[in-house]
Chains A and B, each alone.
Chain A
Amino acid sequence: DQQVKQNSPSLSVQEGRISILNCDYTNSMFDYFLWYKKYPAEGPTFLISISSIKDKNEDGRFTVFLNKSAKHLSLHIVPSQPGDSAVYFCAAQSQGGSEKLVFGKGTKLTVNP
């Protein structure tokens, strides 16, 4: 049973445009969400996160939106740059002191010059 779903395996956008990566979750106990970015042959690196008490968090070109009622979050990258081409993983953690992050399967973003 997949608790964190990234339904788009890939996304292609033009440089300078907006990239929107989506993530859905099923576990209502999740209270913190993270996005990781992964380049080939490297480990994932933390990008941005959001707590369930917020609906938006912004860091430079990256903004994460959380819609708790829909159990949906999205990562917006504006403007997209070729260096943003990577696999993006959505991850979630539940309240209650759980040590574990649950990851989605990832979305491969390609930003074309």
Chain B
Amino acid sequence: NAGVTQTPKFQVLKTGQSMTLQCAQDMNHNSMYWYRQDPGMGLRLIYYSASEGTTDKGEVPNGYNVSRLNKREFSLRLESAAPSQTSVYFCASRISGSYEQYFGPGTRLTVT
């Protein structure tokens, strides 16, 4: 049982490049989330998916798109990366009826 996995662990992009961050969970959780963590800013919600086939914006969605591919997988796409998107990105999941979210190990993204 791997929990929440994220790929890649590290990535460096040039401004304007695109990439997709992958997230998968094997806990049969319904809800999945993408956060970014910046120094002194805590965790801020980018997008979430309450169930397969649904996605909703969080606090900081601009510049990102998401896809809930199936119940297990939730990807985050940067279409045209900007230096302001340099951050650590965390994926999380949650089972219905519980408040606890389980986090992946994170992806450290640098945009130059």
Contact = CB atoms under 8 A, between A and B. Distances in A.
Contacts of A44: 43, 90, 103
Interface stretch (B14-22, B62-70, B74-82, B94-102): B94-102
Q: Helix, strand, loop or mixed for chain B's interface? A: strand
B43 to A, nearest CB: 4
Contacts of B8: none
A99 B31 contact: yes
Contacts of B4: 43
Contacts of B40: 9, 105
A1 B72 CA distance: 33
B42 A89 contact: yes
Interface string A83-105: 00000010101000001110111
Contacts of A91: 43
A6 B42 CA distance: 10
Interface of A: 6, 9, 32, 34, 36, 41-46, 49, 89, 91, 93, 99-101, 103-106
